[in-house]
Amino acid sequence: MPVTIKDVEYIANLARLEFKEEEKEKFTEQFNRILEYIDKLNELDTTDVEPLYHVIDLKNVFREDIVKESYPREEILKNAPSRTEFFFKVPKVIQVEKPQKENEDKEQS
């Protein structure tokens, strides 16, 4: 199923991104090329190929868990654009939209 401009607009909305019309067209083409490539890969016979969990055969690459002194809180927070006493202050990311009726009632008040 090919990707449409509506799909790109939907994805952009989820990511809170805005694109010009020509950018949407370009993304639509790029997504479709990616899907075509995946379809091409699906044509390969992988019957005798064992699944990989990682491209390189790595074994336990964890470092030693050594307790050591952390950076001072003031040092870490001194360049923060916004902060509270002990934490970084960040903008709210999740918004709950109010039902349309409540918004109309407020506008009339």
Read off the pLDDT band of 15 (50, 70, 90). very high
Q: Specify whether the CB–CB gap between 35 and 29 falls below 8 A.
A: no
pLDDT reported for residue 10: 96
What integer best gives the mean pLDDT of the chain?
A: 86
pLDDT at position 17: 96
Name the residue with tokens 């949407």. 24
pLDDT tops 90 at residue 93: no
CA pair distance 75, 79, nearest whole angstrom: 8
- 23-65: per-residue pLDDT in tens? 999 999 999 999 999 999 889 998 998 888 777 777 777 888 8
CA pair distance 65, 30, nearest whole angstrom = 43
Confidence grade of residue 103 (pLDDT, cut at 50, 70, 90): low
Q: Reply yes or no on whether the pLDDT at 92 is more than 70.
A: yes
Q: Answer yes or no: is pLDDT of 4 > 90.
A: yes
Domain-wise residue ranges, the chain? 73-108
